[in-house]
């Protein structure tokens, strides 16, 4: 969670505002406008710092860029 909070202002806001009060367990966060496959690519970028367009077609890359913009990941956009 610390890495996600440091890398994305959007995720920081979502994760810190969605904690349960009693035991610091996070509730589920829905990102309904981001496909799971797209979010997986973004998570690889957030944790590894590398985005590779190899093996992805243009529409996949566009989806990643749109999602990254929504997550306030300006360095990826």
pLDDT tens across the length of the chain (77 residues):
788 888 888 888 888 876 655 566 666 778 889 999 999 999 999 999 888 888 889 999 999 999 999 998 988 88
**Domain coordinates of the chain in residue numbers?**
1-76
Q: Which of 41, 43, 18 is nearest to 29 (CA)?
A: 18
What's the rounded Cα separation, in Å, for the pair 15 and 33? 17
Q: How far, in whole angstroms, is CA 65 from its chain's centroid?
A: 11
Global pTM value: 0.77
Q: Could you give phi then psi for residue 19, rounded to 5 degrees?
A: -75, 140
pLDDT value at position 62?
94
**What's the topology of domain 1-76?**
Potassium Channel Kv1.1; Chain A (3.30.710)
């Amino acid at each position: 969670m610390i890495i996600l909070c440091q890398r994305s202002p959007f995720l920081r806001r979502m994760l810190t505002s969605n904690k349960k009060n009693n035991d610091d367990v996070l509730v589920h966060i829905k990102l309904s406008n981001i496909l799971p496959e797209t979010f997986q690519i973004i998570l690889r970028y957030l944790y590894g710092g590398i985005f590779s367009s190899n093996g992805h077609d243009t529409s996949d890359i566009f989806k990643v860029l749109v999602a990254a913009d929504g997550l306030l990941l300006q360095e990826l956009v």
